[in-house]
Amino acid sequence: MNRRVSADVRARVTATLVHVLAERGPIAYDTPIAHYRPEFGAYGKERATVRHALTHTIGVPQRPSAITPEELCDWDTMCAVVAAQEPLWEPGTASGYHGWTFGWILAETVRRIIGLTPAEALHTYVTEPLGVADELFFGLPESALARTAPLVEGNWAAWLESLPPTAPFRRYVAPDGAVWAVAELANRD
């Protein structure tokens, strides 16, 4: 297990949590996220639903530009920044993988609905009932550090740097190059 998992794994874990809560009733797929988080309705996102978020069609796949590593690691800051972003398309009209923003959109929505942090909600509704509470986390606890491997740099930054600035992947993942998901950043406590 790595200290940092891919955006795809984080998105799947978050989606699983949302599906469990939808089955139990506190969250509904076709309810606008702004119903749970009014500030999320900025810039035409007032009709963006939980379903839109789950299907990556909200229109905010981009990591906000000019974000520092400290801001990136501050949950409340990032939730506010992502909620305030203007969508790149009208929610529900196009699709684009929301790997950077998925958790700040949906896990924060879960927190607002049930009053538990994403880590507490995952533990309560998913990992504890499945008997894997010591294996899957939102945020790695100190007690699990000894059994994890650090992320090893695979030249990701060089690959991103080689992309033209207009490449959609670079625009969404690293619009300004200030914060890239490299081992140095990912292995920070």
The domain that contains 39 carries what CATH number? 3.40.710.10
Contact status, residue 83 vs residue 101, Cβ threshold 8 Å:
no
Query: Which of 168, 167, 165, 157 has the alpha carbon at shortest distance from 62?
Result: 168
Q: With 80 as the cut, is the pLDDT of residue 9 above it? A: no
Residue 19 located in a structural domain: yes
Q: How confident is the model at residue 167 (pLDDT cuts 50, 70, 90)?
A: confident
CA–CA separation, 33 and 174 (whole Å)? 26
Residue 16 located in a structural domain: yes
CA 95 to mean position of chain CA atoms: 16
Q: How confident is the model at residue 80 (pLDDT cuts 50, 70, 90)?
A: very high
pLDDT value for 8: 64
pLDDT value for 153: 79
Q: With 90 as the cut, is the pLDDT of residue 156 above it? A: no
pLDDT value for 37: 97
The total of structural domains in the chain comes to 1
Q: With 60 as the cut, is the pLDDT of residue 1 above it? A: no
Residue 145 located in a structural domain: yes
Residue 1 located in a structural domain: no
Q: How confident is the model at residue 126 (pLDDT cuts 50, 70, 90)?
A: very high
For residue 53, the one-letter residue type is: A
Q: For all residues of the chain together, what is the average pLDDT?
A: 86
Question: How confident is the model over 17-31, as a mean pLDDT?
Answer: 96
pLDDT value for 140: 79
Query: Which of 110, 119, 101 has the alpha carbon at shortest distance from 21?
Result: 110
The whole domain housing 118 covers: 7-186
pTM (2 decimals)? 0.83
